[in-house]
Amino acid sequence: SALVEDDDTPVRWFRVNTLKITHIDTFLEKHFSHLTEVNSISKIKPGTIYKDQYIPNLYGIHPTTKLTSMHPYVLGQVIIQDRASCFPAHMLNPSSEEKVIDACAAPGNKTTHLATYVKNAKGQINAFERDIKRAGILKHMVERAGASSVTVNVGDFTQSNPTDFPLVTGMVVDPSCSGSGIFGRAYDEDDKEESYSEERLLKLSAFQATIVKHAMSFPAVQRIVYSTCSIHAQENERVVVDLLNDEKVKERGWRVANRSRVIPMWPRRGLVEEFQGKVEFPERVAGGCVRAMPKEDGGIGFFAVLFERDASEEELKL
Ligand code: SAM
As a whole number of angstroms, the distance between CA 88 and CA 228 comes to: 10
The closest alpha carbon to 169, from 224, 129, 206, belongs to 224
Non-local CB neighbours of 117 within 8 Å, separated by 6+ positions: 89, 92, 93, 94, 95, 96
Residue 74 phi/psi, 5-degree rounding, is: -60, -35
Where are the domain boundaries for CATH 3.40.50.150 in the chain?
A: 85-317
Listing DSSP states for 109-148 in one string gives HHHHHHHHHHTTSS-EEEEEE--HHHHHHHHHHHHHTT-T
Lowest mean pLDDT among 87-101, 160-174, 194-208: 194-208
Model confidence at 188: pLDDT above 60: no
CA dist 28 and 31 (Å) reads 5
CATH code linked to domain 85-317: 3.40.50.150
Clarify whether 177 is annotated catalytic. no
Q: Which amino acid is at 311?
A: A
Residue of minimum CA distance from atom 22 in ligand 1: 156
Q: What is the DSSP letter of 35?
A: S
Contact (CB, 8 A) for 118 and 124: yes
Question: Annotated binding site for S-adenosyl-L-methionine, which residues?
Answer: 104-110, 129, 156, 174
Instruction: Give the HSE-up count for residue 170: Cα atoms under 13 Å, Cβ half-sphere.
Output: 24
| Predicted complex ipTM | 0.99
Q: What's the pLDDT at 313?
A: 77
Catalytic residue, chosen from 86, 177, 229, 289, is 229
Q: Which fold has domain 6-80?
A: Alpha-Beta Plaits (3.30.70)
* Contact 129 CB / ligand 1 (< 6 Å): yes
Q: For ligand 1, is residue 105 a contact (CB within 6 Å)?
A: yes
Peptide bond into 107 cis (omega under 30): yes
Q: Best substitution site from 112, 116, 129 to test ligand 1's pocket, by max atoms within 8 Å of Cβ?
A: 129
199 CA → ligand 1 middle, Å? 21
Within the chain, all domains assigned CATH 3.30.70.1170 are found at: 6-80
Query: What is the pLDDT, as a whole number, of residue 184?
Result: 67
Cβ atoms of residues 157 and 217 within 8 Å? no
Gap from CA of 293 to ligand 1 centroid (Å): 22
Residues 49 and 55 sit within 8 Å (Cβ to Cβ): no
The per-residue pLDDT for range 90-117, each reduced to its tens digit, is 999 999 999 999 999 999 999 999 999 9
Give binding residues as ranges: 104-110, 129, 156, 174
Q: What is the DSSP letter of 5?
A: P
**Measured in angstroms, how far is the CA atom of residue 108 from the centroid of ligand 1?**
9
